[in-house]
Structure 1
Amino acid sequence: MRINENTKIVGRKVILVPYCAEHVEKYHEWMKSPELQELTASEELTLPEEYEMQNSWRDDEDKCTFLILSRMIYDETGNELEALVGDTNLFLKADEVSGDRLQIAEAEIMIAEPQARGKGYGWEAMLLLFKYAQKNLNIRKYEAKIGIKNEKSLCMFEKMKFREVSRSAVFAEITLERVIDNEWIQWLDEQVILLCENYR
């Protein structure tokens, strides 16, 4: 999505940056991991395919992605590749009921670096992405499809006030939803203001 190609969001623990060509090789190495493939329901791509995917994330109007940097590492090194720990994405789609374009977004989060897990990076990155989307994209509802065994992600989205709407035994995943209303926006603002001076 071109709208965020020059956007950097600085939080307390993380910095969100656009997915650029210089990040592809490290991302490609991550996605060789069977664990990450299972958690993200992904298949390993060749390096040329990964570059094509990066172009798609940059150009397609129905995708919004940011890579997640550890702010502590980036502040120490000034090197995005060294600080890179994961990514967070939105897949936008039309509301099948209303037919309105880009009303629903499926949210995804991945903390790829094992040493970066359990530090609150995913929580902060997801909240900052939700706030960015609220200000810049036409979204009325979020979905999250999470593997049944992925208890940490399920717990995180439930804490973000998502509710379970379905389970698929075939895909071994749970679908959660969050309708965007004034009460949730107020909650989101309260969370984000603690994380990021950009949104005060």
Structure 2
Amino acid sequence: MVLSRPFVEYLIWGWDNLPRTVLMYYANFISSPEGYFHTVACNADEFRNTTVNHDLHYIAWDNPPMQHPHLLTLADWDGMLASAAPFARKFRRDDPVLDRIDADLLSRAPGMLAPGGWCVGEVPAAGANRTGGDDPCAVVGNAAYVRPGPGAARLKRLVTSLLSEENFRPKQCKVAVVEQHIPAKKVEEHIPSEKVEDHH
């Protein structure tokens, strides 16, 4: 979840008391962070239309769904890549798919950082077999330099899709409209007498 500065200020100052009320409501939940921010954003008029309905995670569920997502393995590789999501969950500790993510997506050798634009050394191409050697990030260059890789292109494709006309507005928070059903006998009490017609 990405929170904007104005939304975080609203959470802190809570000028209409909604953030505090929702926080008290969620105080007794096991996983309150999973619902708190969404609930506040979708119920605050100022922020309702600023939401994007996607958590940028690739999550695979068993069929029928269990309490937790299924543990991702190498068998899920193609689905993870096709989703273009920058994050995924859940993984078993030391699963081989984590090594493949390091090697093929991050160009990261064991025990080294994932190289970025700020690395002065030569960064091998994604997918190159890296088993050690010189750390390209041992010497830091311009820390503000960004060098987009293939992952950036996938993320751009995902964000463009999320903000498209067919995905953005229709998938934002919905305002529930509650209709009041007034018994027929009482309807006349709510209509000015000159407008009530007798149909007997």
With the length of structure 1 as denominator, give the TM-score of the two structures. 0.28
The structure carrying a bigger strand percent of its residues is: 1
Give the structure with higher Rg (CA).
2
With the length of structure 2 as denominator, give the TM-score of the two structures. 0.28
The structure carrying a bigger helix percent of its residues is: 1
